[in-house]
Amino acid sequence: MLKFFARYKTFAIVFFILSVIIIYIIYTLKVPNEKLPVYQPDMVNAELVDSTVQYVRKYHKIADFDLVNQNGDTITEEDYKDKIYIADFFFTTCLTICPIMTDHMIKIQEKIKNDDEVLLLSHTVFPVADSVPVLKEYALEKGVIDEKWNLVTGDKKEIYELARKSYLATKSTGDGGPYDMIHTENFILVDKNRQIRGFYDGTDPKAIESLMHDLKVLKGEQH
């Protein structure tokens, strides 16, 4: 009996290895790679979208922009070329959701600080008060890494048009003219093609976990 098992030992090992490989291949074929949706304006709450783009169903991308960061440097879409980035809207004197959002963005910064593919971009919705020196002071206080995270200010109309027409992330107050907005808690995940791939509640730790998971998925998808 021992001779029998010894004779077929090699065969059994080879058969086992082949079985594992075959099972793995079958499982891989049955389970497709995870892929994130590409968000279009007509997929988003109409309150967050400018009426001129509400019914767009394809080809939506973040528009070109020309803003100024906490160091007084001009920041455009070229600074985010071939990068995945996470965007949001805030203002430095906000005492409600902004501090929580900023704390979560700081945690994200820590996780991606050595990742050359990923950047952060925060737009003030109160540019009349959030000047370059104010943003710089805020950046220093919060521990912003300049190479990873731009806090940007600029023309109010441009910022709000980006928010409403590109990032689909703010509501109109309805009482202060076309360029008075209520910013949401949304973090927006943008891919290397300047397309929106996800929205996340920047005040919710669970949503931040989902964002980090989706970031990993997106990186795999864009490789």
Q: Where are the domains of the chain?
A: 1-31, 41-222
Residue 87 to residue 167: CA distance in whole angstroms: 8
Summarised one tens digit per residue, pLDDT across range 94-136 is 999 999 999 999 999 999 999 999 999 999 999 999 999 999 9
Nearest residue to 45 via CA among 53, 54, 36: 54
Instruction: Quickly state the pLDDT bin for 75 (edges 50, 70, 90).
Output: very high
Is pLDDT at 57 greater than 90 in this prediction? yes
At 181, the pLDDT band (50, 70, 90 cuts) reads: confident
CATH topology of domain 41-222: Glutaredoxin (3.40.30)
CA-nearest of 167, 86, 81, 79 to 125 is 167
pLDDT at 204 over 90: yes
Higher pLDDT, 46 or 4: 46
State yes or no: 98 annotated in a binding site.
yes
Determine which of 9-23, 40-54, 72-86 has the lowest per-residue pLDDT on average: 9-23
Q: Is 183 annotated as a binding residue?
A: yes
Query: Would you state the pLDDT for residue 182?
Result: 81
pLDDT at 10 over 80: no
